[in-house]
Amino acid sequence: MTEDVRVYVEEAPGQRTEVSGPTDMGLSLMELLKASGYDIQATCGGMALCGTCHIEVLAGPALDEPSDDELAMLESLPVMSQGSRLSCQIRLTERLDGLVLRLMPQNT
């Protein structure tokens, strides 16, 4: 049996909520966040086409570099920071354990 992986969502500075999910189901981070009740539109269902699953990685383990498709989508969004990622493009694996992230506004 695999251990659940834990990630932390920063709702306000210093205020973090732990969410955890299994690594053996091929889930994406977007699916975990959605399943944990976070309000993520994920309009395109995880195809890097809509940008509505945008998160900012604040701390934690190093992740794989974004693909060209992910970068293209991120660059088209009005807010992008060093840690910007599309949560649908990140697989839920053990390596994510301890990741701290923030949901990015979809329309500010």
Ligand X SMILES: Cc1cc2nc3c(=O)[nH]c(=O)nc-3n(C[C@H](O)[C@H](O)[C@H](O)COP(=O)(O)OP(=O)(O)OC[C@H]3O[C@@H](n4cnc5c(N)ncnc54)[C@H](O)[C@@H]3O)c2cc1C
Binding site for ligand X (CB under 6 A): 43-45, 47, 49
Enter the tokens of residue 99.
């990741």
**Position 59 contacts ligand FES (CB under 6 A):** no
SS3 letters across 40-73? CCCCCCCCCCCCCCEEEEEECCCCCCCCHHHHHH
Among 35, 49, 72, 79, binds ligand FES (CB under 6 A): 49
* Alpha helices in the chain, H assignment, sequence order: 29-35, 68-75
**78 binds, options ligand X, another protein, ligand FES, none, Cβ within 5 to 8 A by partner type:** another protein
Interface ranges with ligand FES (CB under 6 A): 30, 42-44, 46-53, 73, 86, 88
